[in-house]
Structure 1
Amino acid sequence: MVTVQQVGRRLAPARMASRDVVRVGAAGLRTRPARALLSALGIAIGIAAMVAVVGISSSSREQLDRQLAALGTNLLTVAPGRNIEGDNAKLPTEAEAMIARIGPVTGVSATGIVPDAKAYRSDRIPKPQTNSLSVLTARTSLPQTVGASLRNGAWLNGVTSQYPAAVLGADAADKLGVGRPSPETEILVGNKRFSVIGVLNPVPLAPELDSAVLVGWDVAVRMFRFDGRATTIYARSRDSQVEAVHSVLAATANPHSPGSVVVSKPSDVLTARRAADATLNALLLGLGAVALLVGGVGVANTMVISVLERRAEIGLRRALGATQGQIRLQFLAESLLLSALGGIGGVVLGVAVTTGYAAYQAWPTVVPAWATAGALAATVIIGGIAGLYPAFRAARLSPTEALATP
């Protein structure tokens, strides 16, 4: 004997598996491929616009950051000041090594004044006519740290820094009449002959190098009365940590007398750079929100029209036993699939546009991961929200009302 409960259980509608929901949603897109393609294209254009705006702006900002970095926004200098007696102080010999241990510091180099050493083109130049040239000893890492480049010749290395070899600053080369360095080109440093092996271009971040004759650290200690103490230390740090590094440099360079250490202040360009970053971030968020809103309106419009056109199909499915929940799932899945297809296409198109424009402008190509991932996630969310009303509207249609529609 069959009970009422058994009949009720047999007539209960089956639950749709996830793959069935996707299959039913995709079927709705396949039955109207032209409409689905145009709708996905509209979403893709909106998402592509957002990704391209973010990508192009980020690429432009990266180019700006590189140009500002060349102006020394993350370069700090350390020099000795005066001690409590008012005399000229000196940095400890281990100051460079101690500064290099600071976590955010990415590069350290130094120069030192060689005492009582003057540079002359030859021994026929009168001693008082020094042309205001200073003789500095330099670490081999100096060009990388201060952004110096060579006009001609080569920089000091582990070998040449131990021998009488010199590199001239741009102004020093002009004053000494040295055009192109060679092993035969010699100048007098003190009373010693030095071969000129290189000439620097002007160094905007360290203009004191332009009028200097630079020699190796080891040869300065051996041939002149140089005590090995740096008189200027250059330190590069991570951009986000410039102020933090600045606050500890003096105490790190000379723990016993930090007040006798002079540290340059972070550049005003760094402040301008951060202000520009904040403005661009706000602009990107605003443009992205507008693009997503446009895409969401497109999805909602497409799904509402789809419901109106498919009333007979909805009524037939209801008559065959589909529940309101299954109808809602069908249209919601269709809306999500449509949004996902448009989002993926938009991300690909946006990345392609960004890459092409950045290459045309000779900029680095930068498409933030948050822009692509956020665009996809936001598209799906917006698509789901936009599909809720059509889905509920479709589910509320009664079978008789839907089938009666001409």
Structure 2
Amino acid sequence: MNLLQRPTEERSRLRAVDLIQLSTSGIRARPLRAVLSALGIAIGIAAMVAVLGISASSQAQLQQRLDALGTNLLTVESGKDLFGAETPLPKDSSGRVIRVAGVLESAGVGTLSGVRVYRSDLIPSAETGGLSVRAVDTALDRVLAASIRSGAWLNDATAAFPSVVLGSGAARQLGIEQPGTLIWLGGQQFSVVGILDPVALAPELDTSALIGNAVAKERLGYDGAPTRLYVRSGEDTLQKTRKLLPQTLSPEKPESVSVSRPSDALAAKGAADETFTGMLLALGSLGLLVGGIGVANTMIISVMERRREIGLRRAIGARRAHIRRQFLGEALVLSALGGLAGAGLGAAATAGFAASGGLPFALPTYVPLAAIGSTLIVGAIAGIVPAWRAARVSPTAALSG
């Protein structure tokens, strides 16, 4: 009896090549329906890949900025007393700080209260525009790794005369594009010798007019006590240096001196962007879920329309397992097509966004691979019920109907 059953079992065997052909027959017969079904998957995958790719590109740009600017910059600020008045740092702050172990270099900045800057003396005094005037050390540009858009930075010569370097925002607000222009600062004329690019680690300088300490003392009554210090430290001694600075600058009240690291703010911004990316990724997952529902709906309709085909295949020897594999394979093919198209669209969107925003293209390899893998999982889940229903179709009922 086993010998009689063996030929029947061999005839009912489903080869892999036959399975692939059967799984694509419905797609080839109704290409428009297949495209529309795969489109839902493609949109969800494209959204997920694009969100992850753009986020990775943004993080790569942030890391490049941090590497270029350095994470070893510390900002030291003066605090306030019990009455809310600002307690300035010692006049010899730079000299004290440079003796601290691990400090490479430092530069002080003093905000000149009551001193305003205008385009000319014809501007009403109330229209300050929120611009500040700060007295700075000549080493400030080197400590902050600031770049000059046009002109030059203050040197020992120009810092002793009425010369000013404008932050990018200050220059824009005053309507100045090139050095050599005269502005009205502190009730007298100063010559613009340079304009800065935006300073990422010290954004307060973007809306400031920067003059030398010497001219600030001579003409504007600056007492030489800085309100802020920028300190470069060795990477390996950064934390130790950070703890020593308050005690060095104010031994009696070290708690009145605050020390921060500007790069932490950029890193926090990156963390906030990652949180927002998670929300967008969740929305993309919803799109993928909707696409999976569309595939399931398409497969159920396909089973209903192909009942006679299923009945005929069952009548000539196809087993229920073969029918299940056929329709499950068709769902997987539909999902895979959508996943491939979506991964390509997402990568293209990432490349376009990176090119338009000047970002590095940084799409991790695992992202499109994981996206395609997730579509196969969605396709398998979406195809289980239709494949099961197809396998339960009775040959006699299908052929007689």
- TM interval, shorter chain, is 0.5 to 0.7
Q: Deviations over 1:238-273 (max 9, x none)?
A: 9xxxxxx7x654237699999759443467977984
In the alignment, the residues of structure 2 paired with residue 99 and residue 77 of structure 1 have an alpha-carbon distance, to the nearest angstrom, of 12
1:323 counterpart = 2:315: no
Task: State the Cα distance separating 1:377 from its structure 2 match.
Answer: 2.7
Counterpart among 277, 282, 289 of residue 286 in structure 1: 282
CA shift in 2, pair 1:110/1:16, >3 Å: farther
Moved more, 329-338 or 12-21: 12-21
Determine the structure 2 residue equivalent to 1:179: 191
Q: Tell me, in whole angstroms, the C-alpha distance in 2 between the residues paired with 1:21 and 1:6.
A: 27
Match status 1:11 vs 2:12: no
**C-alpha distance 76-206 of structure 1, shift in aligned 2 (>3 A):** farther
Query: Once the two structures are superposed, what CA deviation does each residue of 1:217-257 show, in whole Å capped at 9, x if it has no partner?
Result: xxxxxxxxxxxxxx93345999xxxxxx7x65423769999
8 Å CA contact 1:250–1:263 kept in 2: the answer is no
Shift of 1:399: 2.4
The answer on whether the counterparts of 1:150 and 1:200 sit within 8 Å (CA) in structure 2 is: yes
Q: Offset at 1:336?
A: 0.5
1:44 to 42, 45, 54: 42
SS at match of 1:205: helix
Contact preservation (8 Å) 1:76, 1:265: yes
Residue of structure 2 equivalent to 1:205: 204
**Which residues of structure 2 form unaligned runs of 5+?**
80-88, 110-132, 171-181, 215-227
Query: Which residue pairs with 2:375 in the alignment?
Result: 379
Q: Which residue of 2 aligns with 1:98?
A: 102
Q: Whole-Å Cα distance in 1 between the matches of residues 211 and 205 of structure 2?
A: 11
Equivalent residue, structure 1, for 2:137: 136
Q: Which amino acid aligns with 1:213?
A: G
Tell me which of 302, 307, 312 is aligned to 2:303: 307
Superposition deviation, residue 209 in structure 1: 8.0
- Partners of 1:341 and 1:236 in 2: how far apart? 54
Deviation at 1:284, TM superposition (A): 1.4
Match of 1:190 in 2: none
Indicate the RMSD between aligned Cα atoms, in angstroms. 5.2
Tell whether 2:251 aligns with 1:250: no
Amino-acid identity (%): 40
- Give the alignment of 1:7-406 within 5 angstroms: 7-13=4-10, 15-49=13-47, 51=49, 54=51, 58=55, 76-78=74-76, 91=96, 93=98, 95=100, 98=102, 110-111=106-107, 134=135, 136-138=137-139, 141-144=142-145, 148-150=146-148, 152-155=150-153, 168-170=164-166, 175=185, 177-179=189-191, 181=193, 198=194, 200=196, 204-206=203-205, 210-213=209-212, 232-234=229-231, 248-251=240-243, 262-265=257-260, 273=269, 276-277=272-273, 280-352=276-348, 362=357, 364=359, 369=364, 372-405=368-401
User: Residues 278 and 258 of structure 1: is their aligned pair in 2 closer, same or farther, counting only changes over 3 Å?
Assistant: farther
**Secondary structure at the residue paired with 2:106?**
strand
Change (3 A) 1:111 1:30: same
What are the ranges of 5 or more consecutive residues in structure 1 without an aligned counterpart?
Answer: 82-86, 101-108, 114-131, 182-197, 216-230, 239-244
Give the whole-Å Cα distance in 2 for the aligned partners of 1:201 and 1:41.
45
TM-score, normalized by length of structure 2? 0.59
Q: Shift of residue 40 of structure 1?
A: 2.0
